[in-house]
């Protein structure tokens, strides 16, 4: 299950983009920004497949929870 909504991830990424405009941030800030962008790119709402007893598998990406 996603801890953040897609909109929240986009706002966090926007914050990082604003923070690093001066290029004075450590490399870890760029790495965090890139990880958040990857989360945005791979975001899935995880639709329950409803198959089997208490099955909690996403129909779209196959993630189980």
Q: Domain locations in the chain?
A: 1-65
Q: What is the mean pLDDT of residues 48-62?
A: 69
pLDDT tens digits, one per residue of 1-28: 468 999 999 999 998 888 888 777 788 8
Confidence check: pLDDT of 53 > 60: no
Is 41 a residue whose pLDDT tops 90? yes
**What is the rounded distance in angstroms from the CA atom of residue 59 to the CA atom of residue 8?**
23
pLDDT for residue 35: 94
**CA 57 vs CA 28, 41, 43: distances in Å:** 33, 20, 15
């Amino acid at each position: 299950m996603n801890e953040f909504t897609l909109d929240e991830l986009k706002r966090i990424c926007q914050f990082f983009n604003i923070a690093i405009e001066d290029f004075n941030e450590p490399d870890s800030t760029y790495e965090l920004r890139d990880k958040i962008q990857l989360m945005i790119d791979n975001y899935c709402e995880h639709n329950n497949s409803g198959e089997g007893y208490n099955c909690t598998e996403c129909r779209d990406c196959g993630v189980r929870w």
